[in-house]
Amino acid sequence: AGRTVDGFTAPAMAALVRHDWPGNVRELQHAVERAVFLGRGPLIVPADLPAAVLAGAARRPAADATGQAALKEALAAPERQLIVSALEQAGWRRDVAARALGINRTTLYKKLRRLGLDLAALEPAR
């Protein structure tokens, strides 16, 4: 049985946001899967993340903590990548992608709108 993870600590999320992700969404997916597998608590902490992610985060300075808009946009990029990857892997079936992401379908639709993701433009023609 898999372990339940409630989220990330702020330092772990900051490390993920600051990393360049040269391997794009697959590298991010593998880093999160590894953290879930190796972590012990309900939250993923920096020690659960791959060393390459932490090293990349150390090279890039953190955004100004008072810049809410900057933080929201920094968090939106990896969230967009995760959602698009989940949709691709689910054959663009929203219900399957939502389940894979651990959210309900309504939440997925809200995130798609908030992140400006147009599925008609992203989804390959059938």
For the residues 63-74, what does the mean pLDDT come to?
A: 61
19 has pLDDT over 80: yes
The C-alpha angle with vertex 110 and arms to 109 and 116, in degrees rounded to 5, equals 90
Residues of the chain with CATH 1.10.8.60: 1-62
User: What pLDDT does 98 receive?
Assistant: 93
Sign of CA dihedral 84, 29, 111, 103: positive
User: What pLDDT does 1 receive?
Assistant: 46
Lowest mean pLDDT among 12-21, 60-69, 79-88: 60-69
d(CA 95, CA 92): 9
- Beta bridge partners of residue 43, listed in sequence order: 7
H runs (alpha helix) in the chain: 10-18, 24-38, 51-59, 68-89, 94-101, 105-114, 119-122
Contact 122, 90 (CB under 8 A): no
pTM comes to 0.46
pLDDT band for position 96 (cuts 50, 70, 90): very high
For the residues 71-98, what does the mean pLDDT come to?
A: 85
Sign of CA dihedral 93, 99, 100, 102: positive
20 has pLDDT over 70: yes
The CATH class that applies to domain 1-62 reads: mainly alpha
User: What pLDDT does 70 receive?
Assistant: 67
The encoded tokens of residue 86 equal: 């989940």
| The CATH number of domain 67-126 is 1.10.760 | no
User: What pLDDT does 59 receive?
Assistant: 54
